[in-house]
Amino acid sequence: MHLATAGVRAGFTWAGDQITTLGLPSDKRELARSHLMQKHAEDWVRQLGQLKGSIVKIGQILATYADYCLPAPLAAALHQLEADTEPLAWSTISKHINESLQGRQHELIIEPVALAAASLSQVHTARIKKNNHVICLKILYPGITKTLDSDLAVLEQGLRWWLHKNEQQRFSLWIAAIHEVMVEELDLQLEAIKLNSWGDRLKHDARYVVPTVDDRYCAQNILAMSFESGAVKHHKNIFSLSQERRNFLAENMLELFFREVLLWGEMQTDPHPGNYQVRLNEEDRDQIILLDFGSVRKIGEGLLQPLRQMILSAYHDDRKNLLEAVFSIGLLDRDTPLDVQQAFTDILLGLVEPLNYRARLMADPNSVPAYAVDDQLHYCWAAAKLPKRMGKQALQSAFNKNFSFPGADFLLVSRKLAGVYAFIAALDARFDASRVIEKIIADMPIES
């Protein structure tokens, strides 16, 4: 009711404000309407942010797609949604735990203060009395699975106030994709399966830590797993690491991304900083702790092979096969003007600059900005500002009128790649990424 009322109020106010701008000249009218929409959208999103449950999570996921399917002022407002929220009171969550564990909670000493809280769940540490082991309990908020469909319907209806008729059908497709993502995220049994699968996949690779599932304390609304201590990437202890140690962590994060896409066809799609931590080991190598396997998704076969072809073709500077991958995914039509095809492939080739910058420099010393490379010919991920440069180039190109995102999976991959780049840049890493992708290529099956 809170959200529906806010949506209707924002919609009616927005409609009324549009009427007040009718007397303005056309150029001033559009500017005034944009400012008004921004104001009302921010107010509506603030109302959204006050709620808990799937409503907020849906809004956060929608923010991933918003730039491509919603008016700019509303998209900007959705990006303001925070990933962390206040936890539910212990009196409420403890009752939920007792009902779910059916007596097994007496075998635990559960910390009443939440370790972390998000839109769908919160996490509490617990100590097992018989062996003193510390585990984490990820607890879905009460009743959240029952309200998903109604939450999504109310949110969709609220957002339709902002859309023209020709935008509403496309928006409905995004809502359907978000529903699919949410159903998986709310299935803790499925998340446990993914946790076990990734644990087996990486059990012999000491660079990564995957929590282990404790089946005894799992329930439909609770996922119990080992507690893995670490620091987030912005922690002062990580910033103080040597360049070599920061490079090591950054290379391992990049290698994990390429393994997900090029080898496994399955990826963790949420690059939020809280989903990765770093365990600092003075004597041994530092490790990346992987969290939140509810957002792990298979990459559809219709996207997977062309996506692999796109990455490898861009790396090898193969425009012909790169364009074929673009057509296969549906980013451009085959009858797109040649100058648009050229502009788009230029941007895709630019995005893999950290992978082949040395080859580019050998061919043309001016092909890579001087500030992107240090005196030892290491690529400077933070100083290079690659996303900003490519974004500016995209805005200046003509391809955007012919370009369309084919579906939610591609956006999730794009979002993950942006998150990986942000992780590496935050470490101020400096390294040649060609050795990372060459290592992956060597592990790829010959038929790929």
The verdict on residue 203 lying in a domain is no
What SS3 class is residue 53?
coil
CA angle 345, 348, 351 (to 5 degrees): 150
Report the pLDDT value the prediction gives residue 34, as an integer from 0 to 100: 63
Report the pLDDT value the prediction gives residue 153, as an integer from 0 to 100: 79
Are 305 and 177 found together in one domain? no
Are 166 and 72 found together in one domain? yes
What is the biggest distance separating any 2 CA atoms in the chain, rounded to whole angstroms? 76
Report the pLDDT value the prediction gives residue 53, as an integer from 0 to 100: 61
Are 292 and 423 found together in one domain? yes
The verdict on residue 323 lying in a domain is yes
How far apart CA 384 and CA 213 sit, in angstroms, is 40
Are 283 and 365 found together in one domain? yes
- Copy the structure tokens of residue 205: 């690779």
Are 161 and 272 found together in one domain? no
Domains held by the chain: number: 2
Task: Please identify which residue in the block is written with the tokens 């939020």.
Answer: 272
How far, in Å, are 31, 72, 161, 353, 407 from residue 26 at the CA level? 9, 19, 22, 43, 34
Q: Give per-residue pLDDT as tens, 351-367.
A: 999 999 999 999 999 99
The values of phi and psi at residue 119, to 5°, are -75, -30
Report the pLDDT value the prediction gives residue 6, as an integer from 0 to 100: 45
Residues spanned by the domain of 255: 230-448
Are 260 and 173 found together in one domain? no
The verdict on residue 262 lying in a domain is yes
Are 404 and 264 found together in one domain? yes
Angle between helix 353-363 and helix 434-443 axes, rounded to 10 deg: 110
Report the pLDDT value the prediction gives residue 12, as an integer from 0 to 100: 43
Contact criterion met (CB below 8 Å) for 52 and 119: yes
- Copy the structure tokens of residue 11: 């919609």
| Exposure letters 1-38 (e unless 16+ CB within 10 A, then b) | eebeebbebbbebbeebeeeeeeeeeeeeeeebeebbb
Task: Please identify which residue in the block is written with the tokens 């039509």.
Answer: 333
- Copy the structure tokens of residue 340: 């648009």
Contact criterion met (CB below 8 Å) for 357 and 342: no
Are 258 and 160 found together in one domain? no
The verdict on residue 134 lying in a domain is no
The verdict on residue 266 lying in a domain is yes
Are 262 and 167 found together in one domain? no
Contact criterion met (CB below 8 Å) for 380 and 407: no
Are 154 and 234 found together in one domain? no
What SS3 class is residue 222?
strand
Are 301 and 180 found together in one domain? no
The verdict on residue 40 lying in a domain is yes
Are 160 and 268 found together in one domain? no
The verdict on residue 20 lying in a domain is yes
The verdict on residue 158 lying in a domain is yes
Q: Which residues of the chain have pLDDT under 50?
A: 1-10, 12, 14-16, 19, 448
